[in-house]
């Protein structure tokens, strides 16, 4: 565009409003007569815009189609934003759970992750019964002030490197956890007592056929940490002999745990002739370890 054309086109609005001086007005008119481009700009600028009432009203179908397009665009925007927010929330929740589990495991030493904060302490638990059975194993009843949701037994915890070797230093560790908020049910408040039979020794062979003899030196209940400890029994401790009703309960527990041979020997030692009837009322499978320890080497638990 020529410089003179640019000046003239800028003056067209003032020319239309008739506010130019005479010399400027004559200059614009003279230029427009001889310049086809500027004449075209002047003619288009002089056309009147259509009045609002002259614009045709859109049909109902056109209105519906326009509204539908707006709704689809809005839905796409909302959907993408919602999905993004949900994915971010899931990511944050996952990171929180992983970090929370790791931190709680380090602090509580229970292996229960976030639910470990609901582990019962030694202040909540007491040893109400502790007897020695005819076969030398220990019968124990633990009671809790709070409902027990899960009972954890770390059975035959041996010194490092002694898992499949003979040792006299094995221990048994027990922990209780209450119901967590996400497990809570109005009709199930958890148990307030738990029954155990602890085997204090076991024997077996490893994969190469070498004989293994392991003995337990201590049974303890732990709260949230190793320092929160309640010793139930330790080597050399004197324990009362079990009364007949406890021996009967022990037989039922053996049968429920699948240790039928041990239950039969216990019945025979007690002189009970109706053991066949007892066997008909209960059953179970025999526990099999990686090492071929004799049946009865593990602890038996009953709620």
Q: What is the mean pLDDT of residues 270-292?
A: 60
pTM strictly above 0.85: no
For 130-143, the pLDDT digits (tens) are 999 999 999 999 99
Kindly tell me if the per-residue pLDDT of 261 is higher than 90.
no
User: How many CB atoms neighbour CB 193 within 10 A?
Assistant: 13
Confidence of residue 49 (pLDDT cuts 50, 70, 90): very low
Enumerate residues 6+ apart whose C-beta is below 8 A from 233: 130, 138, 140, 198, 218, 219, 239
**DSSP line for 10-27:** HHHHHHHTT-S-HHHHHH
> pLDDT value at position 100?
66
Asked whether 212 and 165 are in contact (CB, 8 A), the reply is yes
- Give residue 259's pLDDT: 82
Model pLDDT for residues 191-224, shown as the tens digit of each residue = 889 999 999 998 888 778 889 999 999 999 999 8
Question: What is the average pLDDT value for the chain, to the nearest integer?
Answer: 80
User: DSSP for 129-187?
Assistant: EEEE-TTS-EEEEEEEEEEE-EEEEEEEEPPTT-TTS-EEEEEEEEEEE---TTT-BTT
Residue with more model confidence, 278 or 176: 176
pLDDT category at 180 given cuts 50, 70, 90 is confident
Pick 10 or 222 by higher pLDDT. Answer: 222
The pLDDT of residue 289 is above 50: no
Average pLDDT (251-257) is 86
Q: If you average pLDDT over residues 239-258, what whole number do you get? A: 90
Whether residue 155 is predicted with pLDDT greater than 70 in this model: the reply is yes
**209: burial class by Cβ within 10 Å (0-12, 13-18, 19+)?**
exposed
Q: 73 falls in which pLDDT band (50, 70, 90)?
A: low
% the chain with pLDDT above 70: 79
């Amino acid at each position: 565009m020529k410089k003179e054309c640019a000046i003239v086109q800028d003056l067209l609005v003032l020319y239309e409003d008739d506010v130019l001086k005479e010399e400027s007005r004559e200059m614009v008119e003279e230029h427009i007569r001889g310049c086809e481009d500027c004449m075209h700009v002047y003619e288009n600028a002089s056309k009147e815009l259509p009045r609002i009432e002259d614009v045709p009203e859109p049909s109902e179908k056109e209105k519906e189609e326009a509204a539908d397009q707006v709704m689809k665009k809005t839905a796409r925007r909302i959907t993408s934003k919602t999905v993004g927010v949900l994915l971010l929330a899931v990511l944050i929740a996952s990171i929180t759970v992983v970090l929370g589990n790791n931190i709680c495991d380090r602090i509580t030493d229970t292996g229960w992750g976030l639910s470990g904060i609901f582990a019962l302490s030694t202040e909540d638990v007491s040893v109400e019964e502790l007897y020695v059975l005819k076969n030398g194993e220990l019968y124990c009843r633990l009671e809790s002030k709070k409902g027990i949701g899960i009972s954890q037994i770390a059975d035959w915890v041996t010194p490092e490197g002694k898992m499949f070797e003979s040792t006299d230093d094995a221990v048994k560790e027990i922990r209780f956890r209450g119901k967590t908020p996400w497990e809570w049910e109005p009709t199930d408040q958890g148990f307030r007592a738990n029954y155990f039979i602890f085997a204090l020794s076991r024997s077996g062979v490893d994969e190469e056929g070498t004989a293994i003899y392991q003995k337990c030196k201590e049974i303890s209940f732990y709260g949230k940490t190793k320092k929160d400890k309640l010793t139930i029994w330790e080597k050399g401790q004197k324990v009362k002999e079990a009364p007949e009703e406890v021996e009967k309960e022990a037989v039922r527990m053996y049968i429920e745990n699948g240790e039928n041979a041990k239950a039969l020997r216990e019945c025979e030692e007690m002189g009970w002739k109706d053991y066949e009837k007892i066997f008909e009322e209960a059953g179970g499978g025999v526990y099999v370890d990686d090492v071929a320890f004799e049946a009865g080497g593990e602890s038996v638990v009953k709620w």
